[in-house]
Amino acid sequence: MAPVKVTKICCIGAGYVGGPTCAVIALKCPHITVTIVDLNKARVDAWNSPDFDLPIYEPGLVDVVKQARGRNLFFSTDVDKGIREADLIFVSVNTPTKKSGVGAGFAADLNYVELATRRIAAVATSSKIVVEKSTVPCRTAESMRTILEANSKPGTRFDILSNPEFLAEGTAIADLFKPDRVLIGSLQSQEGKDACQSLAEVYGNWVPEERVLTVGLWSSELSKLAANAMLAQRISSINALSAICEATGANIDEVAHAIGFDSRIGPKFLRASVGFGGSCFQKDILNLVYLSESLHLPQVAAYWRQVVEMNEYQKSRFSKTVVDTLFNTITGKHIAVLGFAFKADTGDTRESASISIIRDFLQERAYVTIYDPKVEEAQIWQDLSEAAPNLTLETIKKQVTIVHSALEACQQKEAVVIATEWKEFREIDWETVYQNMSKPAFVFDGRLLVDADKLRKIGFKVTTIGRGERL
Ligand SMILES: NC(=O)c1ccc[n+]([C@@H]2O[C@H](COP(=O)([O-])OP(=O)(O)OC[C@H]3O[C@@H](n4cnc5c(N)ncnc54)[C@H](O)[C@@H]3O)[C@@H](O)[C@H]2O)c1
């Protein structure tokens, strides 16, 4: 049998991955009908909103959706219809860290993947290529195959592929337009290879052939966890060095520059910061830790666990620096926090370092004013309530104010903390900020964002991650 020519794609999950990924597939493949389905009606409604008020913020995303929506790109809550009509189905549902039961706190919660897989088995009346897009532990495809085969109707066959997504939030559209690589894992049977070719042909509409890598299923699944673990490890490594810089008077920018010039190391992902966030790095490393433990490899598990522990240390070390610098107490003091998203150019707050820092400030009974250009107010309240379960929302609201500009946030404050690297924070009128702050006016740059020397000339007392000049 020749590889199937894909003409109808369904994507289960209209989130940060399913939405942008399949919108780009629709844009680049006008001959393929792409339907993105989700159980969350509010999310689907937002994707369909007449004024393109999409549920997620990504530079360039609105343009893509404007071109393809209604042409060959559709968003729907009718999951069953989407499944039934497609010849290829992406499973792009969430795989958060398990909150309870075996492996709680480490293992991936595969409940959403399982439910989506069971739905495919229950509803499909023709053969499908089922593609794991979600990040999953090694050998999840095996479980999906078992579920599909045990529940399939006669004459219906399912081929499973792994096609992990490597996009980064904030640059998702650029990453999808020009991916470093597309990875497709399949069983090495003829059917598996044919299914792999069908998906490779979809990407072939815009991705050069040499960038589409085909490997075995388990290698593909593990490669996604490995890539995130290696990226996060670089951040924890540079952050570990930033602590040494602060203690010695070395400068982390100079160190990063010097080591990044080594072509074996390279310059990317060497920026020290208040710590990494996002829905993936921590979850995927913990997943790798759990996998290693399950495989009776405790030393391997401990090695990767340390990357996450270093990140926790970096966040709490930063909060402590703020307290120490503000004369060992921030109780009753007013602090502006610029940035709530886990990084610039996204409205996503999952595991944002900002949440940990503000939680620490609340425990110290400081007053916090937050400004972020893209995060919704309701999201901030939800994140802070979850982060500080010992405080009622009413108490949190007495201590926290959310405002709509950086200048407003800094007004009459004793300190400004930069928690997200939004470009606009570099371009604030810092002279005006200084005039309107209580003195001495402190700036804590958790992202190596501002020109510290320029701010010092204005009069600020500036503390920067990884620089020895303590106040
Ligand atoms: N966010 C990233 O940057 C990123 C990057 C690469 C890979 N990933 C991986 O991609 C996967 C999805 O991540 P995300 O950030 O898009 O998650 P998300 O939470 O934004 O989106 C998942 C969506 O799936 C929907 N869903 C869950 N179960 C469903 C079901 N049975 N039927 C229909 N819809 C269902 C949810 O309602 C939600 O809207 C995860 O495994 C994640 O690890 C994420």
| pLDDT tens sequence for the chain (471 residues) | 789 999 999 999 999 999 999 999 999 999 999 999 999 999 999 999 999 999 999 999 999 999 999 999 999 999 999 999 999 999 999 999 999 999 999 999 999 999 999 999 999 999 999 999 999 999 999 999 999 999 988 889 999 999 999 999 999 999 999 999 999 999 999 999 999 999 999 999 999 999 999 999 999 999 999 999 999 999 999 999 999 999 999 999 999 999 999 999 999 999 999 999 999 999 999 999 999 999 999 999 999 999 999 999 999 999 999 999 999 999 999 999 999 999 999 999 999 999 999 999 999 999 999 999 999 999 999 999 999 999 999 999 999 999 999 999 999 999 999 999 999 999 999 999 999 999 999 999 999 999 999 999 999 999 999 997 644
Number of structural domains found in the chain: 2
Question: Is 336 domain-assigned?
Answer: yes
Pocket test for ligand 1, best of 10, 12, 17, 140 (most atoms within 8 A of CB): 17
Regarding whether 197 and 334 lie in a shared domain, the answer is: no
Same domain, 48 and 161: yes
Instruction: Report how far ligand 1's centroid is from the alpha carbon of 96 (Å).
Output: 9
Q: Identify the residue whose C-alpha is closest to ligand 1 atom 12.
A: 94
Give the separation between CA 285 and CA 63, rounded to whole angstroms: 34
**Same domain for 63 and 177?**
yes
Give yes or no: residues 24 and 152 share one domain: yes
Query: Could you tell me if residue 400 is inside a domain?
Result: yes
pLDDT at 469: 64
Identify the active-site residue in 10, 29, 196, 280: 280
Annotated binding site: 13-18, 38, 43, 93-97, 134-135, 169, 280-283, 350
**Same domain membership, residue 197 and residue 318:** no
Q: Is the CB of residue 145 less than 8 Å from the CB of residue 126?
A: no
- Listed residues 190, 207, 224: the one ending a domain: 207
Whether 436 maps to a domain, the answer reads yes
Structural domain containing residue 442: 308-464
The binding site for NAD(+) consists of: 13-18, 38, 43, 93-97, 134-135, 169, 280-283, 350
Residue 139 Ramachandran class (φ > 0 left, ψ -120 to 50 alpha, else beta): left
Q: What is the structure's pLDDT at 411?
A: 97
Among 110, 27, 63, CA closest to 291: 110
369 Cα–ligand 1 center, Å:
31
> Best of 21, 78, 80, 93 to mutate for ligand 1, by most ligand atoms within 8 A of CB?
93
Q: 207, 238, 272: which is the final residue of a domain?
A: 207
Q: Based on the domain organization, do 200 and 346 belong to the same domain?
A: no
CB 77 within 8 A of CB 41: yes
Q: Tell whether 291 is covered by a domain.
A: no
d(CA 96, CA 284): 9
For strands 88-91 and 33-37, give the pairing: unpaired
Which amino acid residue places its CA nearest to atom 15 of ligand 1? 16
Atom of ligand 1 nearest to the CA of 166: 6
Predicted local confidence at residue 2, as pLDDT: 85
Whether 195 and 343 map to the same domain: the answer is no
Counting from 1 in the atom list of ligand 1, the atom nearest the Cα of 17 is 16
The pTM of this model reads 0.95
207, 236, 262: which is the final residue of a domain? Answer: 207
The response to whether residue 35 sits with its C-beta less than 6 Å from ligand 1 reads no
CATH code assigned at 44: 3.40.50.720
CA of 301 to the centre of ligand 1 (A): 26
**18 in contact with ligand 1, CB cutoff 6 A:** yes
Q: Considering the domain boundaries, does residue 443 fall inside one?
A: yes
CA of 94 to the centre of ligand 1 (A): 3
170 and 315 in a single domain? The answer is no
Do residues 198 and 332 share a domain?
no
For 282, the 3-state DSSP assignment is helix
Q: Where are the beta strands (DSSP E) in 332-451?
A: 334-338, 367-371, 400-402, 415-418, 442-445
Query: 193 and 62 in one domain?
Result: yes
* Nearest atom, ligand 1, residue 280 CA: 43
- Tell me, yes or no, whether 260 lies in a domain: no
Which tokens sit at 181?
Answer: 């690589």
232 belongs to a structural domain: no
Residue 442 is assigned to a structural domain of this protein: yes
Catalytic (active site) residue 22: no
